[in-house]
Amino acid sequence: MTIDTQTLAPKRDPMGAAILDYLTTGRAKTLTVMSSMFDDDEMPVDYLFRTTDSMPPLELKALEMTRGTTLDVGAGAGCHALALQQRGVSVKAIDVSPLSCEAMRRRGIADVECINLFDPRLGGGFDTILMLMNGTGIAGKMSGLGGLLRRVASLLALGGQILIDSSDLSYVYQDEDGGMDIDLSGKYYGEVDYQMRYGRVEGLPFDWLYVDYPLLSAAAREAGLDCRIVAEGDHYDYLAQLSLERTNP
């Protein structure tokens, strides 16, 4: 499997286009999320601009636990990076979306880089790495989760932590009797494909992984990371803290 280290072309960056539009005009057209597995949905663009007053408790917990030099991976419109910067935290925001990065710069985030997490030019040494709003998504599929965790672990300073959230999607497949309508011989139920459209800007389809906590912690252990659940949300979602395993003296 080759790992993508590219950034998006602006004409293939619907979420970035929506973010920049919302920032400059105060409103946005419909950002449509398509999937082969679900009906078309609409992503409320203002949600990407949420402030600490409207962030879910899991994210507030992550911000509260953030310390030291911080990397915000897939920072989007920069809501977490901005909140941290305002608290005096030294934070670098990265995203593959050039238009989102432009929006973050315009919002006053001092250290923004349009770079793929897997680009070897991205330097490490971070005390905290934030991966929020389903941070496991970047793995794409279950087969990419180990590689994602090893990559993020390699960017940590000694004693550093990764704060990552995800959800157990099994509820999507629950039938009325509480049973599960899951094909056990098929792919993992948290593997989703998406494609986004904003006006005439259509992105390429991409894979996005949601992973339940037991599977995340098993993958973390295999990647040499300690994993603990920090908080649980009210919709099968959770926040986990991953850190480099301490080697016993």
Q: Can you give the binding site for ligand SAH, defined by CB under 6 A?
A: 15, 48, 73-76, 79, 94-97, 100, 116-118, 132-133, 138
Residue 117 or 211: the one with the smaller Cβ distance to ligand SAH is 117
Residue 112 or 219: the one with the smaller Cβ distance to ligand SAH is 112
Q: Residue 193 CB, nearest distance to ligand SAH (Å)?
A: 14
Q: Residue 248 CB, nearest distance to ligand SAH (Å)?
A: 34
Where b means 16+ CB within 10 Å and e means fewer, 177-213 reads eeeeeeeeeeebbbbbebbbbbeebebeeeebbbbbb
Beta strands 126-131 and 70-73, pairing class: parallel
- How far is it, in rounded angstroms, from Cα 245 to Cα 178? 38
Q: Residue 181 CB, nearest distance to ligand SAH (Å)?
A: 28
- How far is it, in rounded angstroms, from Cα 166 to Cα 148? 14
Q: Residue 76 CB, nearest distance to ligand SAH (Å)?
A: 3
Residue 138 or 163: the one with the smaller Cβ distance to ligand SAH is 138
Residue 132 or 216: the one with the smaller Cβ distance to ligand SAH is 132
Residue 207 or 226: the one with the smaller Cβ distance to ligand SAH is 207
Beta strands 156-167 and 191-198, pairing class: unpaired
Instruction: For 83, list phi and psi in degrees, rounded to 5.
Output: -60, -40
Q: Residue 184 CB, nearest distance to ligand SAH (Å)?
A: 29
**How does DSSP assign 205-246, residue by residue?**
PEEEE---HHHHHHHHHHTTEEEEEEEE-SSSEEEEEEEEPP
Q: Residue 91 CB, nearest distance to ligand SAH (Å)?
A: 12
- How far is it, in rounded angstroms, from Cα 77 to Cα 101? 8
**How does DSSP assign 20-57, residue by residue?**
HHHHHHS----EEEE-SSS--EEE-GGGGG--TTTS-H
Residue 73 or 216: the one with the smaller Cβ distance to ligand SAH is 73
